[in-house]
Structure 1
Amino acid sequence: MRAAAGLAVAAALAATLALPGAGPASAQGEGEGAKGSPIKLQLNRLEPAGDACRTYVLVDNSRGGALKSLKVDLFAFDTEGVAQKRVAVELGPLAEKKTSVKIFDFAGIACPKIGRVLLNDVLSCEGGEASREGCLERTETESKASVPFDR
């Protein structure tokens, strides 16, 4: 009878570990916390604004902790791949587990002249246990605009 009970417990444990989100991988994800969660930057829209190109960036911090500051270094390249404009943009403060939109201009360059935007670096990242290097490593980029957004 003990053997049958032991087999039943082993079968129940095996079934539990087979469930999605159960077991060691889930425990690692939960322990990851704000320190390892991604910061997703999406180049969402480009629109003309006089002699500048107004830029909308969606900042997805939906899985991370609050940050007082997230300052990034961005380059706009023309359609031939030549660097044209550099801008430092403060995307913070970022609320914990929140998504927001930040708007800034690439002055002196028309939107149709932009062929690519590059996240060159993270200049500062402050809040909790955040570090500049850690935030750069956690940052992911994507684009819904007409041009790529790379890192």
Structure 2
Amino acid sequence: MAIVSPKLAILSLALGLAVAATPGRAQEQGRIAQDQPALSLDLNALEQVGQACRLVFVATNATGAAIDEMSLETVLFNTGGTVDRFALFDFQSLPRGKTRVRQFDLPDISCADIGRVLVNGAASCKGPSLKGSECMDLLELKSSSKTEIVG
């Protein structure tokens, strides 16, 4: 029969409890993150259409509330970092729990010249249970394109 020191026994017990608790804790943290309300906006693609650049966005409304009207004030920077223009993008309605694709054509600009898109604020954010700030407060930005989007 082997003799185990009290310190080693406590250390083994603590290590065993930590390992046993880790999967449940990771699952719990993942569940909490998934349950957080969010308004996801992905700058999915930029496509040259003649003399215009078409910006394609994928918007997912996981806020828990319907958005009847959402317009975002944006600023487009060129690849040199200088402001090229301001634009107002009207995303129209975004039903609760749904994903919508919206596209906007910007005349007289090459997509290759757009270096970054800044969401400057919400011109409108309306819905039956909205206070008006949710569109910016819950906004999560992502870019699947080569162009950066920031808020």
Equivalent residue letter for 1:43 = L
Deviation at 1:139, TM superposition (A): 0.7
Larger Rg: 2
> What is the identity percentage for the equivalent residue pairs of Structure 1 and Structure 2?
29
**Aligned residue for 2:73?**
73
Distance 1:127 1:40, change over 3 A: same
Say which structure is richer in strand.
2
Q: How many correspondences in the alignment? A: 126
Deviation, 1:85, is: 1.8
Residue 101 of structure 1: aligned partner: 101
Q: Deviations over 1:48-85 (max 9, x none)?
A: 01211101000011453211101101111100111112
Q: Distance in 2 between matches of 1:148 and 1:134?
A: 22
Aligned to 1:45: 45
Change (3 A) 1:108 1:64: farther
2:125: which partner in 1? 125
- For residue 112 of structure 1, what is the amino acid of its counterpart? A
Is 1:138 the counterpart of 2:141? The answer is no
Q: Which residue of structure 2 aligns with residue 12 of structure 1? A: none
In the other structure, the counterpart of 1:11 is: none
2:6 aligns with none
Aligned-partner residue type, residue 131 of structure 2: S
CA deviation vs aligned residue, 1:13-68 (integer Å, no higher than 9, x gap): xx9xx67449xx96xx87x7xxxx11010000000012111010000114532111
User: Where does structure 2 lack aligned partners over 5 or more consecutive residues?
Assistant: 1-20
Pair 1:134–1:95, CA change in 2 (3 A): closer
Question: Matches of 1:65 and 1:103 in 2, distance apart?
Answer: 23
Q: Tell me which residue corresponds to 2:16.
A: none
Q: CA separation in 1, counterparts of 2:55 and 2:47?
A: 7
TM-score by length of 1: 0.74
Q: Which runs of 5+ in 1 are unaligned?
A: 1-14
CA distances 1:87-129 after superposition (whole Å, capped 9, x unpaired): 1111121111001100111222110100001111111101122
Structure 2 counterpart of 1:74, which letter? T
